[in-house]
Amino acid sequence: MLLHIPQVLDPEQVRHVRAKLAAAGDAWVDGRVTAGHQGAPVKRNLQLAENSPIAHELGDLLLGALERNALFISAALPSQVYPPMFNRYADGMHFGSHVDGAIRLIPGSGAKMRTDVSATLFLSAPEDYDGGELLIEDTYGVHSAKLAAGDMLIYPSTSLHQVTPVTRGERIASFFWIQSLIRDDGQRSLLFDMDTAIQRLNASAADDSARTSLTGCYHNLLRMWSAA
């Protein structure tokens, strides 16, 4: 499932994050420091050091916003969220076609998590840079995303994807992964569609017993498929 989630961060939050990142100085490092065997040869960008205080501060801000975002919760059904990371692309920087690694080691914890859902939160306005599109391949073809600052795209971590070269300006974003309660993308999509339908029915004068029955089906499927 490929889903655009608008306004995860509001304009004031985006300005705050951008100001902090602009002052990060030496905390920006070569993005290949966290790339695996597949990604390192095709990755050319800068990345905020994961252990820097500013990365922790801004990551906590973003995690707080995600906890309050009903659309994200419904679509991703998160069990664990990897601490958000931040990257910069300028002067021809790009990230060639790759698939995200299946397992990530959570910094400082020794714990591991499975990457079911990948997320990119755009922090630069699309008119501020040329290039830098996020291209994602699925069974329906290649999808291009260049969203408004504060908006986020989530997509299956199994997807082949890339960031095209930035030819003007600077593309700044946050990226991270989610281990979902539901490992299978098809099952997650069905549950998301059902939850969306339930919410629409709850906002209408639909039959109460029918809504209760449908809600029960949703939770029973979640119980059946959940990895928790």
The per-residue pLDDT for 36 is 67
Q: CB neighbours of 79 closer than 8 A, spacing ≥ 6?
A: 178, 179, 180, 181, 227, 228
Pair of tokens at residue 2: 């490929």
Question: Hey, is 161 helix, strand or coil?
Answer: strand
Does 185-225 match 3-180 at the fold level?
A: no
CATH class of 3-180: mainly beta
What's the mean pLDDT when you consider all of the chain? Answer: 95
The per-residue pLDDT for 115 is 98
The per-residue pLDDT for 206 is 85
Pair of tokens at residue 195: 């939850």
pTM for the full model? 0.95
In the predicted model, residues of the chain with pLDDT beneath 70 are 36-37, 228
The per-residue pLDDT for 215 is 96
Superfamily of domain 185-225: Rabenosyn, Rab binding domain (4.10.860.20)
The per-residue pLDDT for 227 is 78
pLDDT tens-digit readout, 102-156: 999 998 888 999 999 999 999 999 999 999 999 999 988 999 999 999 999 999 9
The domain locations on the chain are 3-180, 185-225
